[in-house]
Amino acid sequence: MSITKNQFRIATIVAALVGAFIAPGQAKSKGGGEHTSRGVQLAEQKQYDAAIAEFTKAIEAAPKDPRTYTNRGTAYRASGKLQEAIADFSKAIELSPDDEMAYRERGFTESVQNQFDAALADLDKAVQLKPDDGFAYKFRGFAEIGLNQWDKAIADFSTAIQKNPDDAQNYERRAFASRGMKQYAPAIADYTLILQKDPNNAEILTKRGYTYSLMAEYEKAIPDYEAALKIKSDDYDTVQRLQYARGMLAAKNAPPVTATPTPTPAGPGLFTPLNIGIAIIVILIIAAVVRAVTRGKPEVTSSRIR
């Protein structure tokens, strides 16, 4: 099973918008500190345009500080301005070639733009510069999924989970990569781990149900779909998948069809018109032969006196 680039783009953009925030501890700069702190606060409140304005003021105050560009680039990406984000991350790398965070964030943004090869190069560099950064492994896993490198993605998400065990997205993406390799049991295990902490996650219920369907375990898929629809009743895709699973389960449990024997047609009777005609001809032939044999012979008479 493969994922289209459009599907991957949607998944990663959602992750960028929802998960992007700038920790205050990462926002220290040599100048414009007040603007940086204010920008961080606004970014955490998802007021990205206002945050960008503050980070721009911080850049004006400290144009040689790479972190101010990284902060603004992150805010640009969260607001959907991807080209501007790439430009800021590139500027940060220009100012500080060993800035792991700038490589990491540029690589992630490249994945959002479906530039998976470029993303992989940046994220390899980020992992090299800071092997303890779980987010670098996570973002590299995104790029590897985009390139259908399922086994590498599984390994990176596993590392990311070791470093950030509370990040549910690591488990969800690892499950997706496992499905890509048709390793359904590990995918089920990851979805189940997420549901243990978030049992009302309709999306994960649907994904686990779909994985059960891929395993032809429709009796397990159906309860997951039904639970998902109780939470989100207007999900038409889940409705369709539930109908499919029910139909397949009914077909799976249907009794075998017994073939009805075809009656053997009765043979023709003895007294058919053809047989009667043949018999008459035989009798006539016999009579003719007898007549020919006895023609011209004296008639035998009795010697008794009558």
DSSP letters for 55-66: HHHHHHH-TT-H
- Token pair 């018109």 is at which residue? 273
What residue ranges define each of the domains in the chain, with the CATH number in brackets? 5-198 (1.25.40.10), 199-252 (1.25.40.10)
Q: In the predicted model, what is the mean pLDDT of residues 228-250?
A: 96
- Lookup: tokens for 164: 């950030």
Looking at 185-189, 270-274, 292-296, which range is the least confident one?
Answer: 292-296
Q: In the predicted model, what is the mean pLDDT of residues 237-245?
A: 96
Q: Please give the backbone phi and psi of residue 263, each rounded to the nearest 5 degrees, phi first.
A: -65, 140
- DSSP assignments along 131-167, one per residue: TT-HHHHHHHHHHHHHTT-HHHHHHHHHHHHHH-TT-
Question: pLDDT digit string (tens) for 7-26?
Answer: 444 344 444 443 344 444 44
Q: In the predicted model, what is the mean pLDDT of residues 158-176?
A: 97
pTM here is 0.75
**What residue spans of the chain are helical by DSSP H?**
5-19, 33-44, 48-61, 66-78, 82-95, 100-112, 116-129, 134-146, 150-163, 168-180, 184-197, 202-214, 218-231, 236-253, 273-294
Closest CA to 209 of 253, 248, 160: 248
In this structure, what DSSP letter does residue 261 have?
P
Mean pLDDT (the chain) is: 84
Given a cut of 70, is residue 148 above it in pLDDT?
A: yes
Looking at 70-74, 186-190, 295-299, which range is the least confident one?
Answer: 295-299
